[in-house]
Amino acid sequence: MKLFYSPASPYVRKVMVMAHETGQEVDKLDSAASPINRDQKIVDHNPTGKVPTAILPDGSALYDSRVICRWLDAQHAGPKMYPEGNWDIVRQEALADGLLDAALLARYETVMRPEEMRWPEWLQGQMDKIASSLDTMETEAESLKDVNAGSIAIGCAVAYLDFRFPDYPWRTSRPQLTRWYEAFSQRASFQMTQPNG
């Protein structure tokens, strides 16, 4: 599989962690994804112009990290990352992606939008989504013992907060999530996919 790639994208990281955990190779394709100036190389395969976008061996494209992760899970013979009938794992992945959606919007608001056009109440709404998502993750941290699509997504989401919002005190009132993340983030798949940029 080939993947249009951005080293700072938490969604790309999710795919790369999944590939590593399932023992699969991914060829990285250079790209310049942006919410403002779209990369035509990506748009030619994915009309949204977003990463990750995968090019499969038959030349067809898949996009959205959840879809690509499911494809990867179908390609290997090991323990499944989306066990049949386990809707909690799918829901946890959606929870993590919802946190990431809010975090990306908050970042765009504070970094890309001109200062005179910023909307503080809208930004606060995104930060509130992040906080309530983390609160739910805290209550479910005990269920994150296994490596699966849900725990991978939650790990990538929390890591993105550390990467882009280093002053955000998410650990302060979430000791169980903190302990889980400190252990999970030591996995080789996480160490090898540290974001930059």
Residue 59, CB-side half-sphere exposure with 13 Å CA sphere: 1
> Which pTM was predicted?
0.95
Average of per-residue pLDDT values in the chain: 96
Q: pLDDT tier at 67 (50, 70, 90 boundaries)?
A: very high
pLDDT tens digits, one per residue of 86-138 = 999 999 999 999 999 999 999 999 998 899 999 999 999 999 999 999 999 99
pLDDT tens digits, one per residue of 140-157 = 999 998 999 999 999 999
Specify the pairing of strand 61-63 against strand 53-55. antiparallel
CA separation for the pair 100, 83 (Å, rounded): 23
Domains of the chain by start residue, with CATH: 2-75 (3.40.30.10), 87-191 (1.20.1050.10)
CA separation for the pair 157, 128 (Å, rounded): 15
CA separation for the pair 184, 189 (Å, rounded): 10
CA separation for the pair 123, 88 (Å, rounded): 29
